[in-house]
Amino acid sequence: MNKIIFILLLFSSNSFSYHCINKYNDTKFDDGEQIIYVPIDSNITQTENIFANVGEYIDCKNDEPWFYKDSLFIKRFGIHLGPKLREQNFSGGVYVNSSRYPVNNLSQILIFMLDHGNYTPVDIDMYIKTPDPVGPYLVIEAGDELMTLDLHFSGDPPTWNSERDYKWTFKSANRAILATGSCVINDDKLIDVDFGEVSKTAISTVGSQTRYQIEKELEYDCDDTSVNQNIKISLSANEASFSSTAFATTTPGLGVEMYHEGQVVAPFEGFNSNLRNGMGRDTVTFTLVKTPNPGPSDLQEGDFHANASLIISQP
């Protein structure tokens, strides 16, 4: 009697042995493109400024560690600055395993090799840098591209599904001013504006008319005493919901306006000044303002605070 032998071939339902997770939107992906939004700080220096670590947003995992050793690389010439940064002559790159790689990376960069089945953060520090003693004035809008990384995955042993490519684009999650250099304001220390106890009935809807006004001296100091040039001092802060000239506080319906020589300086606007022998000085006034049409949740009693940055840049 002839015997019929059946050979059953089992295939994994997973088309790849490797996947990553975008922690920003909690989605898994095997290849292709990802867009990640990262918060940007206006306070950067003339040295390299690390604006995000990829591992805070993306983890990767080897799904079949008993068979594959999975490696992830940044491709040759795979680091790209966003167009606004390039146009203003910013430079940048990444740090991987304590080594620095600029945007014109000539060889592929090994990020990690996974021989286990645990989620592993993609540990890449991304940095930007401006070369000038007083940097260019650059407004980054929410959604502007900061850096794109072209990556390649490779599995060992090589099989039909062990090679693939990624493109990860990092965009700004907020609006910010990027300008920097060797110049600092007030020795780079916090400018504390304490209004003390206030009465909401005494707060005006126009900052110049309120009784809550505090003056602060601004002193500019540059490492290079040969710097003699005109500069711009810009205010980087989130606008109040009720006013385009005030910046927001933690209390709804309450905002802060900044004045220079009697003129209000709105968020993402500024005033002109100058440096002589690497130094300069100005006086600004901070005032409280309130919404003209308060709702039930506005101007509630309690502590409040606000955050803003003053930026020195080219005019």
Closest CA to 52 of 167, 181, 169: 169
Instruction: Phi first, then psi: give them for residue 216, nearest 5 degrees.
Output: -135, 135
Q: pLDDT value at position 160?
A: 59
CATH of the domain at 237: 2.60.40.1090
Q: Which domain holds residue 128?
A: 18-178
Closest CA to 268 of 307, 213, 217, 308: 308
- How far apart CA 289 and CA 253 sit, in angstroms, is 8
Element (H, E) at 87: helix 83-87
DSSP state of 219: E
Q: pLDDT value at position 179?
A: 67
Q: pLDDT value at position 176?
A: 84
Q: pLDDT value at position 16?
A: 57
Q: pLDDT value at position 132?
A: 65
Q: pLDDT value at position 9?
A: 40
Q: pLDDT value at position 205?
A: 87
Is the full-model pTM beyond 0.75?
A: no
25 Rama class: left (phi>0) / alpha (psi -120 to 50) / beta:
alpha
Mean pLDDT by 10 residues, the chain (315 residues): 45 59 86 90 74 94 85 95 89 94 93 91 92 72 96 79 86 82 80 88 85 93 81 91 93 94 94 92 94 87 88 82
- How far apart CA 148 and CA 88 sit, in angstroms, is 17
- How far apart CA 147 and CA 153 sit, in angstroms, is 19
Question: For the chain, what is the domain count?
Answer: 2
Q: pLDDT value at position 12?
A: 40
pLDDT in tens, 191-205: 899 998 888 888 888
Contact call for residues 43 and 127 (beta carbons, < 8 A): no
Q: Tell me the two tokens of residue 31.
A: 């290849």
Same domain, 35 and 163: yes
33 Rama class: left (phi>0) / alpha (psi -120 to 50) / beta:
beta
Same domain, 128 and 193: no
Element (H, E) at 90: none
The residue from 146, 178, 210 where one domain ends is 178
Residue 261 burial (CB count, 10 A): 10
Q: pLDDT value at position 13?
A: 39
Same domain, 122 and 217: no
Same domain, 165 and 190: no
- How far apart CA 72 and CA 281 sit, in angstroms, is 51
